[in-house]
Amino acid sequence: MKFQPRTGPDRGFKRSEELGMRFERTIPDGAHTYAKGNDQYPEHYAPYIVSGRGCRVIDADGNEFIEYGMGLRSVTLGHAFPRVVDAACRQMKSGSNFVRPATIELECAEELLTMIGGADMAKFGKNGSDTTSAAVRLSRAYTGRDIVAICAEHPFFSVDDWFIGTTAMSAGIPKAIRNLTVKFHFNDAESLRELFRTYPGRIACVMLEVEKEIPPSPGFLEALPEICHENGALLVFDEMITGFRWHNGGGQTLYGVTPDLSTFGKGMANGFSVAALTGKKEIMQQGGISGERERVFLLSLTHGGETHSLAAAIATMRTYKSEPVIETLWSRGERLRRGVEKSIREHHLEENVVLPGKPCNLVYGTRDAEKKPSQEFRTLFLQETIRRGILAPNFVVSYSHTEPDIDRTVECVHEALGVYRRALDEGIGKYLEGRPVRPVFRRLN
């Protein structure tokens, strides 16, 4: 299905609105990922995507957008990146799944382990939840303990009960399971020590992302291995976002801290479905067929060794090794940050629009006239950027974003912030065209 992209002021969403009704009749929430749902986008400005190349996508109405977020941060190189697509296509012609392991499974595991310096073994899944949940199960088996400690400031670890039970969407999850996950605070080593004092001999592992919008304080990450090990627990880093974005070796390499187990995904295969659990041999092999410990059902997925996805992962990793991917993500993100911050200052919005996060993973926050976080003003900002050809639930860049793409984005954002300024001064009701977006994690629909 081909379209002549529309990039001017005649942008419309009639076809997408019609599709929206069909999606919601057929698929719960109208999307297979909550973050992509209609309630996350402005009413009448929720495009359905048909195709993408580089950092640009085309929707069902033929509108073209510069996209940010890039498949929820999974497309780090760019949509339909030729080297990755070609590798996957070649592998498809040789078969995608067999009754015994394919040699490409070993090739991909070895390629990954050359990038992740502190890991000895790797096991593949299809998404991040597969691997974080496997890390929890392995930690419990290895330590003989039942409680998991997670970072309270990090919003998502898994779709499975051990984590979702801690959120506002805990319906359907027994209280007994919810009680087995406890929380500590980022940059607060004492809060973690207090958990170990409260639950002596019961915490199997400590799981956190290496970094989110707030950087680690000096000494915090470095203290974690000692705190965990002196209390008999394992340290697990969730590198779904920091991996393949902070550094070729992940956030752990950037900060020089080696965990016992790590999980990777998202950008690992540039949008193809591959995730990985990596870790130290003495722990990982308990999920295998060697050693004398009780065996752990670690990961056993029909599609875990799907060959064309692994080919995509190999091509992605080799691109990272041969091209300045990480450097480009940081430099493009910094160019975007400087441009948007200049516009924020010009519109006197310093207390209303904020840009936290590393340049390679830049996000934004919206606040109302009282300087309080505002879903209404987030909706207005999305509305005004989408109508100008920018699809940006955040400002997460890819390797395919060029400097002209960034500069065009800054121009559109400047116009959108002009509307934001007027809405603050005159009232948002004059400018917002529909209902506001809503948080993903909420108890009621």
Q: How many angstroms separate the CA atoms of 356 and 362, rounded?
A: 6
Q: How many angstroms separate the CA atoms of 200 and 261, rounded?
A: 22
| Per-residue pLDDT at 290 | 74
Q: Are strands 275-279 and 121-125 parallel, antiparallel or unpaired?
A: antiparallel
In a domain, 275, yes or no: yes
User: Which CATH number goes with the domain that contains 58?
Assistant: 3.90.1150.10
In a domain, 7, yes or no: no
- Give me the residue label for tokens 């060794």: 305
- Answer yes or no: do 75 and 123 share one domain: no
Full pLDDT tens readout for the chain, 445 residues = 333 344 444 568 999 999 989 999 999 988 988 888 889 999 999 999 999 999 999 999 999 999 999 999 999 999 999 999 999 999 999 999 999 999 999 999 999 999 998 899 999 999 999 999 999 999 999 999 999 999 999 999 999 999 999 999 999 999 999 999 999 999 999 999 999 999 999 999 999 999 999 999 999 999 999 999 999 999 999 999 999 999 999 999 999 999 999 999 999 999 999 999 999 999 999 988 876 778 888 888 999 999 999 999 999 999 999 999 999 999 999 999 999 999 999 999 999 999 999 999 999 999 999 999 999 999 999 999 999 999 999 999 999 999 999 999 999 999 999 999 999 999 999 999 999 989 888 887 7
- Answer yes or no: do 53 and 153 share one domain: no
- Answer yes or no: do 159 and 246 share one domain: yes
- Answer yes or no: do 137 and 194 share one domain: yes
69: left (phi over 0), alpha (psi -120 to 50) or beta: left
HSE value, Cβ hemisphere, 13 Å, CA-based, for 288: 11
| Per-residue pLDDT at 3 | 35
Give CA angle at 80 (75, 81), nearest 5°. Answer: 75
Q: Name, in order, each residue with C-beta under 8 angstroms of 53's C-beta and a sequence gap of 6 or more.
A: 78, 79, 80
| Per-residue pLDDT at 9 | 46
- Answer yes or no: do 172 and 249 share one domain: yes
Task: Return the number of other C-beta atoms located less than 10 Å from residue 410's C-beta.
Answer: 19
Q: How many residues does the chain have?
A: 445
- Answer yes or no: do 103 and 74 share one domain: no
- Answer yes or no: do 159 and 222 share one domain: yes
Q: How many angstroms separate the CA atoms of 350 and 371, rounded?
A: 10
Buried b (16+ CB within 10 A) or exposed e, 235-266: bbbbbbbbbbbbbbbbbbbbbebbbbbbbbbb
Last residue of a domain, one of 274, 305, 336: 305
- Answer yes or no: do 301 and 329 share one domain: no
- Answer yes or no: do 378 and 413 share one domain: yes
Domain holding 202, by residue range, is: 97-305
Contact by Cβ (8 Å): 97, 105: no
| Per-residue pLDDT at 444 | 78
| Per-residue pLDDT at 420 | 98
- Answer yes or no: do 113 and 261 share one domain: yes
In a domain, 358, yes or no: yes
Per DSSP, 215 falls in state P
| Per-residue pLDDT at 294 | 83
Last residue of a domain, one of 305, 332, 362: 305
User: Which CATH number goes with the domain that contains 257?
Assistant: 3.40.640.10
DSSP output for 108-160: HHHHHHHH-TT-SEEEEESSHHHHHHHHHHHHHHHHT--EEEEETT---S-SS
Task: Return the number of other C-beta atoms located less than 10 Å from residue 422's C-beta.
Answer: 14
- Answer yes or no: do 201 and 328 share one domain: no
Q: What one-letter code names the amino acid at 9?
A: P
Buried b (16+ CB within 10 A) or exposed e, 317-347: bebbeeeebbebbbbbbbbbbebbbebbeeb
Contact by Cβ (8 Å): 368, 377: yes
